[in-house]
């Protein structure tokens, strides 16, 4: 297991100088090129500059998160072939710069969705949370106002985009994903890159938009579209774990045992029967997921890929990008590495 840490570039208040002080970051930094418009080719020069900056701090740079998939590809519009060709070239450019894994997702319009970025917990920390009731009470015709990803679009653009998706049901979205994977996976395989799709977050339809990477059957179906190790998963415990029907440990054992998990996001969540959830500290006793059992499952299947502590709480007065502060994620990295070391040395007793 190679522990890594997400970094958002020069605008990130969490600096590489701080990150390098976290022990056990064998997997180095997970980052991306953020100043290239979605759908355009990532130039080799920009990738090399990012890599040089990270490596200058003594950190590896093997994993990209993410190369966004343009909405026209998800919608199956005529422009998708040009955009897919650009995506293929970005894969080639990343491989030429020594990158090994690309995380991406196929969620329509919204990436991760939360109803609050700063729910106050009993210990005084704040965290990301999702309320089903709050989402259901939103009148889409009057616009959507949620923290985070809805700000990626102006109201008029968002309304038009949602209208375009009105004719895209789950099976049509599957057909568009099928088309995309059959175009990009052979390129990834050729250049030695592993593609790792991130599951839907939360793992359920939202605002009438289909979600098709949300459970065990979806993951199995996706992997069979192009049945090769280059077509793999970013198994996010927090995203999948927000669905009460998902057994994350079992998913690790099944798909990790098949060698199809290339990147793991380890995050704990506390869920309710109604489908609400809040993100917690990584420890098993803080949320609904048994993180110790999940880490042991990775160890048992011989996992050698990359992991990162996913979202963390904001603690000790830290401000910055919600979910991506330094302190709680650093605690998570050390805790998770500690679990791994314990299993490695002592096994199950």
C-alpha R_g of the chain: 19
What lies within 8 Å, CB to CB, of 95 at 6+ separation is: 191, 192, 193
Cβ–Cβ < 8 Å for 234, 264 = yes
Cβ–Cβ < 8 Å for 329, 21 = no
The two structure tokens encoding residue 170:
């789950």
Cβ–Cβ < 8 Å for 255, 263 = no
Can you tell me the distance from the alpha carbon of 57 to that of 327, in angstroms, rounded to the nearest whole number?
A: 19
Cβ neighbours of 192 (radius 10 Å) = 11
Cα 104 from chain centroid? Answer: 7
Can you tell me the distance from the alpha carbon of 302 to that of 299, in angstroms, rounded to the nearest whole number?
A: 5
Q: Which residues are catalytic?
A: 198, 236, 265, 310-311, 324
Cβ neighbours of 41 (radius 10 Å) = 15
């Amino acid at each position: 297991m190679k522990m890594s840490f997400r970094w958002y570039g020069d605008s990130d208040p969490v600096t590489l100088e701080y990150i390098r002080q976290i022990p056990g970051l064998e997997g180095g930094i997970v980052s991306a090129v953020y100043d290239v418009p979605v759908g355009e080719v990532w130039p080799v020069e920009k990738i090399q500059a990012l890599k040089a900056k990270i490596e200058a701090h003594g950190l590896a740079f093997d994993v990209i998160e993410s190369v966004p998939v343009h909405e026209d590809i998800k919608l199956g519009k005529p422009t998708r072939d040009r955009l897919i060709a650009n995506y293929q070239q970005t894969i080639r450019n990343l491989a030429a710069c020594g990158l090994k894994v690309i995380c991406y997702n196929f969620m329509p319009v919204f990436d991760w969705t939360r109803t609050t970025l700063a729910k106050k917990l009993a210990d005084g920390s704040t965290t990301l949370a999702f309320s089903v009731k709050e989402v259901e009470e939103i009148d889409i015709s009057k616009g959507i106002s949620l923290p985070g990803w809805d700000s990626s679009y102006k109201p008029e653009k968002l309304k038009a985009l949602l209208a375009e998706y009105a004719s895209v049901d789950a099976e049509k979205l599957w057909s568009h994903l099928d088309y995309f994977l059959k175009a990009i996976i052979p390129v990834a395989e050729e250049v030695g890159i592993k593609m790792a799709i991130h599951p839907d977050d939360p793992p359920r339809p939202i605002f009438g938009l289909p979600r098709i990477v949300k459970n065990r059957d979806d993951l199995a179906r996706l992997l069979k579209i192009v049945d090769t190790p280059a077509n793999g998963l970013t198994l996010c415990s927090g995203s999948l774990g927000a669905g009460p029907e998902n057994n994350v440990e079992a998913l690790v054992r099944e798909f990790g045992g098949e060698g199809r998990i290339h990147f793991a996001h380890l995050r704990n969540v506390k869920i309710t029967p109604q489908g609400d959830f809040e993100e917690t500290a990584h420890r098993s006793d803080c949320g609904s997921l048994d993180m110790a059992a999940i880490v042991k499952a990775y160890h048992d299947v011989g996992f050698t890929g990359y992991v990162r502590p996913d979202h963390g709480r904001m603690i000790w007065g830290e401000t910055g990008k919600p979910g991506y502060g330094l302190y709680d994620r650093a605690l998570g990295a050390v805790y998770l590495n500690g679990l791994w070391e314990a299993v490695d040395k002592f096994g199950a007793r």
